[in-house]
Structure formats: C-alpha cells, structure tokens
Amino acid sequence: MQFINLHTHKFTNDANVLEIVNQYPQEFDDKIPFYSIGIHPWYINESRVEADLQIIEEKLQLQNCLALGECGLDKRIEISMEIQTQVFEKQLRLAIKYKKPVILHCVSAYQEIIEIKKRLKVDVPMIIHGFSKNLPISKSLLDNGFYLSFGKYLLLNPELEAIFKSVPNDKFFLETDTIEETLEEVYELAAKYKNIKVSELQELVTNNFETVFQIKK
C-alpha cells in the first residue's frame, strides 16, 4: 500500500508515495502528477491577485489538481488581516464552485477561519496542515468539521502525542511539508502513537484520502 503525503513542497517522484505537491500560480510545473494550488498569505501580491485567481480557477477544473491551497490566514505577517481575508474568501468561493478540498495555512487565526467557514457555508472538506496547537484548539476545529494534518511538529514536539491520539481516526492526515525527514518517519511515529502497525495506519489515511478527495486508490 502507498503512503499518502497530504502536503509537500518537494516532488520526489517516489512510486511508493502519492504526494499532493504545493504549487503557486506563477510557478506552476505541469510535470507534477498531483498537486494543490493557491495563494499563500505570505505571498499575496495585490497587483496580481486577480491574475493568480484566474490561474487557480483554470487549474481547479483539472483532474490532477486535488485541492485548493495552501491558503489561509496568518497573524504574524505584515500583510493586513483585511487583505488576507479578502484573498482567502475569494479562493474559498472557487473551491466551493469546483468542489475541491482546501489545504489551510493558519497561524493564530483559528477562530477567524472557523467563522469564515460558517459564514460562507463552506461545504467542501477543509484541512489544517502542519497542526501544532493544543487540545482545546484541536477540539474546536474537529467540532467544526475540519481535518487535521500532522508532520514536522509531530516529530519535534512530544507534547503533540496526546493531541494526535485524541484525533479520531477518520479526521487526520500526515505530511512532510518542507522537512528533511522522510514521510516514513512521520508514519512510524504516528503509528507508534496510535499503537497500530504502519500498514494499518496507511489504510486509515488511505480511507480518509478517498473520502475527502473522492478518489479510489
């Protein structure tokens, strides 16, 4: 059974891994088999937002484009929350229109993202990538229908063990994002925390993948 990498910036072309490679509108590589595409809040360029959105809309209609993202909100950057929110909501409307899941970047703005999901009545799956926060935040997100993806911080922060264990088996994904460690290392630790075999973990993640992305593996 393959490993599934929910979010990575590095295309490995590994036959044992189905990876959703993060792409940006202005740096698109059509040789990548499966990808997500979006405007990351760090890289919002107001002069080309509409052009970026046009590219995103074109790609969302393609079969190999599995998700919108990563996109979202980040309170630790200089770009105003007003601008970030405008760009984020425009992207979410495209995800709704083309029925694509959303891979989310969120820093210190979880309540805002929950509010936007409710207000826009987002009916496609939304996945917080690189989750690293506490039990109350994870519970709030799960209660509001979000999925959580774990990677770098699962390896770096032992305190995440309890949070990861508390996430229902049908609500999580695993990823590498930008880390040097392998996806197999992430799966091995996650399997240890869930007290199951890696092969059983692969099956869980595959089931979640098929549910969220409507693709039979």
What pTM does this model have? 0.96
pLDDT bin (cut points 50, 70, 90) of residue 32 is: very high
pLDDT reported for residue 1: 72
Task: Return the number of other C-beta atoms located less than 10 Å from residue 208's C-beta.
Answer: 23
Q: How many domains does the chain have?
A: 1
CATH code assigned at 29: 3.20.20.140
CB 53 within 8 A of CB 90: yes
Cis omega (within 30 of 0) on the bond before 82?
no
7 is in an annotated binding site: no
40 is in an annotated binding site: no
177 secondary structure, DSSP code: B
129 is in an annotated binding site: yes
Each residue of 33-62: pLDDT tens digit? 999 999 999 999 999 999 999 999 999 999
Q: What is the mean pLDDT of residues 198-213?
A: 98
pLDDT reported for residue 217: 59
Each residue of 138-175: pLDDT tens digit? 999 999 999 999 999 999 999 999 999 999 999 999 99
Between CA 47 and CA 150 the distance in angstroms is 34
177 is in an annotated binding site: yes
Q: Whole domain around residue 180: which residue ranges?
A: 3-213
Between CA 48 and CA 53 the distance in angstroms is 9
